[in-house]
Structure 1
Amino acid sequence: MPQEILEIIAKAEGDQELLDSFLKKAKDLINYDWWGMYILNEETNQYEVRAKSNEAKKIETNIDFLIEDGIIDWVLRNYKPRFISPITDNLLFFIIPIVIAKKPIGFVVFKISSKQAFNKNLHSLSLQATLLGLMFQGTMYRESVWDKVNKLKFLMEIAQKITFSTNVDRLLESIMEVLNNTVRTEYSCISLLDENKKLILKKSSDFKWPIKPTEVCYFVINHAKPIHISDFKQDIRFKNSMEPSNLRNVLSFPLETQNTILGALTLYNRLGLPDFTKDDFIFLFALSNQAALAIKLISLYDKLKKAYKETVLALAEAIEAKDPYTRGHIERVTRYALMLAKEMKFKPSDIETLEFASLLHDIGKIGISEAILKKPGKLTAQEFREIMKHPVIGEQIVKKVSFLKKASIIIRQHHERFDGSGYPDGLKGKKIEKLSRILAIADAFDAMTSERPYKKKLNIEQALEEIKRNKGKQFDPEICEVALKVFG
């Protein structure tokens, strides 16, 4: 390497100074109008602009033409700088190839006004161009590594979300977010088969595009294998397609687990690159497999949850059969309790626990004498003491069922009062579970607004006035305010 180049490297404090030195020397030798540096991306086998002057953007299409027409490859194969003038344009370019060990890695292009006689310093300019080419190639490699690291990070995040996800919509939103942050496209979508094997578009990155699954999605599902189309218009399989006219390239994967097709993950028109890359394919293959597994697990969870709920409803019906005066009470109390919890923005798992507890809050009455439950008049003190046992009996029954263990605590506490005067444990204030405090208001509100043999029902306004009067006594003040808003 000439002494001059070694001195430039030694003096330069960073990449920018190397670039500035190169451009100053080029300006002295060539007197260019504008310039651009292109480096070969080995993954896509495409030349990418890594640095340029502002004016270069105006004539980028001319450079693309020189690349597509093979002129740039011809210059690179000859290893020597050349003047190039496209036939169709009155332009003159000077191109310096960047070659390492007889392997072209890029080129620098200068737009000039006229051919000039260059002196021997041109050789040192070529060496500097090579040095810069190596610098930008290194940057490209680093970007590629970081891209792979980020994709791996997103896959790990999805894997974690899969472990804890119990909702398909939220899972699909997470997957779309990952796609938007990794493989940039004009459009991406996830389509799932419903119970009748009809394909439904579930999530989309842009609803200006079709709002139903495309023919590519159906093709992937029917053939149960991925498809990559580099030039959609030239693909004879979709010759008569009704797809949008601006489709260039497509990458689609079936969502498959245990030989069952659940849907398709499809991406259209890669942005930032001419086409989808091998890395895109590997990443999306892994993502689609994880997504399919997660969707299947959520489906199994939903079926299990449905079976649980059917069990709970069967128990609730057993309560109503024992105590005819509670018929409809359980359903209404559950509805009121869930209205309050949703208004208070409880998380889904807590709302589910409250639903189970509300449906079973009176299950302990199974252990109470029918004579007491069906007595039309006022209860004696002894009879009321028997009735007061039903929260504890209910807890004892329910806590033996593993998925109802949390609900059993709510059932035990649903007759506790905020001021500590309730039963069975005389708990006070925040020592009572918040879900129990919600259930207490829902239960009381329905009792007040329902007809019973021993009392007349109150209208809504009277019941709300009663809740207001017992704020801080029987009921949690915060939940009282919510009840006044929701039930009013």
Structure 2
Amino acid sequence: MENRDLIKLFDSIRKNKGLIKVPQSLQKNKILYDVIRSYQLDCFERASNEFLNFESNSDKIEKDIFFKNSCKLLRIFFPDSIFYYYKRNEETGGYELFFSEVQNNEIITSIEEALVEGILELVSSSQEIRSFENIYYLEKKTYLTPFPLILNNEKIGIFIAICEKKASINIDILFIFERLMQILATNINAIQLNDQLTKKKNTLSLFIDVTENISYIKTIDENIKGIILALQKAINCNLTGIILVDKNGQLFFKYVSKDLYNYIIKHKWSFGKDIFSECIEKNISFNITDMHKSRLYSKTFTIVSDQLKSFLVYPLKAVNFVGCFFAGRLINEPSLGHEEYDIVMTMIKNLSIFLNNIALYDEIKINYELTTAALASAIEAKDPYTKGHSQRVMRYSLLIGKNFGLNESALRTIRLAAMLHDIGKIGIPEAIILKRGPLNEYEYKIMKKHPYIGYTIIKNIKYLSAGFPFVLYHHEKLNGSGYPFGLKSEKIPLFARIAAVADSFDALTSDRPYRKGLSFADAILEMQKYSGIYFDKQLVDILIKTLKS
């Protein structure tokens, strides 16, 4: 071949981006032939990378655009085909749908059948082009042609071409196709790693958000619903719920997503051969791609509709909670994969820990309240004339606090502190406590020490720390005439102002050895008389309004 002919050939290779057939006569000259092939590969690679417009170091990888362009390049070699890409899961060895050029659920199901059967694994490299009749797709005759993606001798995924004819490729450009597969393998591996990193970031973000939103102030129902909603978003699944076991050993749905209601057949059932019973009884999890193939758990479809195909079931075990979490996807939706399973496993395990902590917290709280009640009884045992006083002060204080708009945590503090607000009377001589007449100046001076004595008794009890002002300042008055410190107006903490109103109102309406208690109507008049002088006017108004209603 003359030089001008070679120049024309190389120019043609450049213009056609490497995709031309080299004259057979040149194949005899091995050195020249290798140079031409190398130039073909170089032209094709440059053109392909430019067309794919992919930068592996980019923070944002346009996955869909990249795959759509990849499919256009693949169609150079396999016209009239549509393509699906499945990434290989390193942990399970299975394949998960990563991209579909056309969303045809029947074809996707047929591909997954062939993958499960191992048919598509018979092709081990891109040098081997083999088509298999798609016996799992009944609508019309089609063929599956797999192209494995291999990087560093490891299979990272598999492209599958769907066509109505068996695929074939011109042997003269097979080496270019192999180069395309190398280009795709490198770039798709970067996309998969980026996708994996993004999902892990999202999972971590979800875990942090859920952990921050879990609150011992919220009810258990509110916390569980919050976690389930977060899980729905994380695994992109609207069909979720929790199955629990009741006192009679019956299984029932709880915390069910709105969309799942349409697919529930039984809302309550006995243990049997369904997947939920198996999960709970044997404490094992399931991630089943196609439930219709699982004869062992076919009775599951007597509980939920057979329109569901993919099932992810994870056991939930905690104090007072026995059951499982369930997520499902419909026949026309992609199956729940290993990544979704990992998210569910992490969140349900943490939900179990939280529920156990709640149970422990409730037990401790009950013990605290019993201890508090016992201490309150000790006060009243010393002063029988004030029997029930602490309970009444607690009730009035809670009425005021609730209508003032305090949260559950603050109300819990008031409940405990009110029970102990007079604990300091334990340190007052019985002669003064039980005196049947008014106290003289000396005795009153000693009695005024009881708030501070009470504070010294409880100051080292950590769970009562927020309630210290209630005990220490409950006899302070807005005009500074109270005790033990003579605090004025806003310097008196809110809890103490609530305590002063509740304690004074009960003192006015209670009988004493030296006087009879006032009626509610008269006590209200007395409280109004000193409202804004001794007592916080807003709190007095709240108590009176609440009592009248």
TM (norm. structure 1) is: 0.75
The yes-or-no answer on 1:252 pairing with 2:314 is yes
Q: Residues of 1 paired with 2:77 and 2:337: CA distance?
A: 40
CA 1:347–1:14 in structure 2 vs 1: closer, same or farther (change >3 Å)? farther
What is aligned with 1:188?
A: 241
The yes-or-no answer on 1:100 pairing with 2:150 is yes
SS at match of 1:131: helix
- Structure 1 gaps of 5+ residues are none
Computed over aligned residues only, the root mean square deviation of the Cα atoms, in angstroms, reads 4.8
Q: Residues of 1 paired with 2:420 and 2:546: CA distance?
A: 23
Offset, 1:3: 2.2
Deviations 1:312-367 (A, max 9, x none): 21221222233333222221210121233334444444333322210111222334
Q: Residues of 1 paired with 2:206 and 2:424: CA distance?
A: 49
Q: Is the 1:183–1:270 contact (alpha carbons within 8 Å) kept by the matching residues of 2?
A: no
1:21-40 alignment, distance < 5 Å: 35-40=82-87
Q: Residues of 2 paired with 1:430 and 1:396: CA distance?
A: 24
CA 1:88–1:434 in structure 2 vs 1: closer, same or farther (change >3 Å)? same
User: 2:109 pairs with 38, 61, 64, which one?
Assistant: 64
User: In terms of mean alpha carbon deviation, does 344-353 or 63-72 score higher?
Assistant: 63-72
CA 1:444–1:228 in structure 2 vs 1: closer, same or farther (change >3 Å)? same
User: 2:328 pairs with 260, 265, 269, which one?
Assistant: 269
What letter corresponds to residue 107 of structure 2 in structure 1? Answer: N
What is aligned with 2:518?
A: 457
SS at match of 2:418: helix
Q: Residues of 2 paired with 1:200 and 1:108: CA distance?
A: 42
1:339-418 alignment, distance < 5 Å: 339-370=399-430, 372-374=432-434, 378-399=438-459, 401-418=461-478
What is aligned with 2:43?
A: 4
CA 1:487–1:41 in structure 2 vs 1: closer, same or farther (change >3 Å)? farther
1:122-161 alignment, distance < 5 Å: 124=176, 127-128=179-180, 131-132=183-184, 134-152=186-204, 154=206
SS at match of 1:303: helix
SS at match of 2:533: coil
What letter corresponds to residue 362 of structure 2 in structure 1? Answer: D
What letter corresponds to residue 274 of structure 1 in structure 2? Answer: S
The yes-or-no answer on 1:14 pairing with 2:53 is yes
CA 1:198–1:417 in structure 2 vs 1: closer, same or farther (change >3 Å)? farther
CA 1:473–1:242 in structure 2 vs 1: closer, same or farther (change >3 Å)? farther
What is aligned with 2:11?
A: none
Aligned residues, how many? 476
What letter corresponds to residue 40 of structure 1 in structure 2? Answer: K
Q: Residues of 2 paired with 1:84 and 1:217: CA distance?
A: 37
Q: Is the 2:96–2:337 contact (alpha carbons within 8 Å) kept by the matching residues of 1?
A: no
What is aligned with 2:534?
A: 474
SS at match of 2:85: strand
CA 1:120–1:96 in structure 2 vs 1: closer, same or farther (change >3 Å)? farther
Q: Residues of 2 paired with 1:397 and 1:275: CA distance?
A: 58
What is aligned with 1:228?
A: 286
SS at match of 1:442: helix
Deviations 1:224-265 (A, max 9, x none): x32426365635477598532446534233526xxx996344
- Structure 2 gaps of 5+ residues are 1-37, 55-61
CA 1:48–1:133 in structure 2 vs 1: closer, same or farther (change >3 Å)? farther
Q: Is the 1:226–1:254 contact (alpha carbons within 8 Å) kept by the matching residues of 2?
A: no
Q: Residues of 1 paired with 2:69 and 2:210: CA distance?
A: 46
Q: Residues of 1 paired with 2:254 and 2:77: CA distance?
A: 60
What is aligned with 1:73?
A: 120
What letter corresponds to residue 73 of structure 1 in structure 2? Answer: L
CA 1:449–1:198 in structure 2 vs 1: closer, same or farther (change >3 Å)? farther
CA 1:228–1:418 in structure 2 vs 1: closer, same or farther (change >3 Å)? same
Deviations 1:90-138 (A, max 9, x none): 5777967354379583326477899999897787567546634653443
Percent identity among equivalent residues?
25
Q: Is the 1:399–1:405 contact (alpha carbons within 8 Å) kept by the matching residues of 2?
A: yes
Q: Is the 1:192–1:202 contact (alpha carbons within 8 Å) kept by the matching residues of 2?
A: no
Q: Residues of 1 paired with 2:253 and 2:112: CA distance?
A: 40
Q: Residues of 1 paired with 2:315 and 2:523: CA distance?
A: 57
Offset, 1:74: 8.1
Offset, 1:29: 8.3
CA 1:483–1:370 in structure 2 vs 1: closer, same or farther (change >3 Å)? same
1:315-334 alignment, distance < 5 Å: 315-334=375-394
Q: Residues of 1 paired with 2:485 and 2:113: CA distance?
A: 83
Offset, 1:413: 0.4
CA 1:237–1:180 in structure 2 vs 1: closer, same or farther (change >3 Å)? closer
The yes-or-no answer on 1:305 pairing with 2:365 is yes
Higher relative contact order (CA 8 A, sep 6+): 1
Q: Is the 1:220–1:254 contact (alpha carbons within 8 Å) kept by the matching residues of 2?
A: no
What is aligned with 2:503?
A: 443
Offset, 1:424: 1.0
CA 1:229–1:88 in structure 2 vs 1: closer, same or farther (change >3 Å)? closer
Q: Is the 2:401–2:498 contact (alpha carbons within 8 Å) kept by the matching residues of 1?
A: yes
